[in-house]
Amino acid sequence: MSLARALIVAAALAPAALRAGEIRAEEAGAPVPEWIRKLQEPPPGTERAEAPPAVDFLRAPDGARIATAAGWEERRAQLARKWEAFLGRVPVCELAPEIVERVELAGGIARTLLTLQVEPGVRMRCYLFVPPGAGPFPACVCLHSTTDETIRQPAGLGANPEKAFALDLARRNYVTIAPENFLWCYPVEEGAGGSRYQRAAEAFLAGHPGSKGMAKMIHDASRSVDYLMTLPVVKRGAIGAIGHSLGAKEVTYLMAFDRRVACGVASEGGAAFEFTNYHDPWYLGPAIRAPDCDCRAEEVAALIAPRAWLLVGGGSADGEQSRPYVEAVLPVWRLLGARDGCGLFVHAAGHAVPPEARALAFRWLDYHLKGAGR
Burial class (CB in 10 A: 0-12, 13-18, 19+), 61: exposed
Confidence category of residue 55, pLDDT binned at 50, 70, 90 = confident
Please report whether residue 273 resides in a domain: yes
Please report whether residue 175 resides in a domain: no
In whole angstroms, what is the distance from residue 43 CA to residue 37 CA? Answer: 11
Tens of pLDDT, residues 20-36: 333 333 345 578 999 99
Please report whether residue 105 resides in a domain: no
Please report whether residue 124 resides in a domain: no
Please report whether residue 159 resides in a domain: no
Rounded to two decimals, the pTM is: 0.92
Number of domains composing the chain = 1
Please report whether residue 334 resides in a domain: yes
The residue type at 102: R
Helix (H) or strand (E) holding 112: strand 110-119
Residues in the chain: 374
- pLDDT of 193 reads 67
Give me the sheet containing 308-313, strands edge to edge.
98-104, 110-119, 122-130, 175-179, 137-143, 234-244, 261-267, 308-313, 342-346
Mean pLDDT of the chain: 90
Least confident of 38-47, 79-88, 155-164, 353-362: 38-47
- pLDDT of 23 reads 34
Please state, for a pLDDT cut of 70, what percent of the chain lies above it: 90
Boundaries of domain holding 304: 3-42+52-90+194-370
Please report whether residue 110 resides in a domain: no
The sign of the torsion formed by the CA atoms of 215, 217, 220, 224 equals negative
CATH number of the CATH domain containing 26: 3.40.50.1820
DSSP state of 366: I
Please report whether residue 115 resides in a domain: no
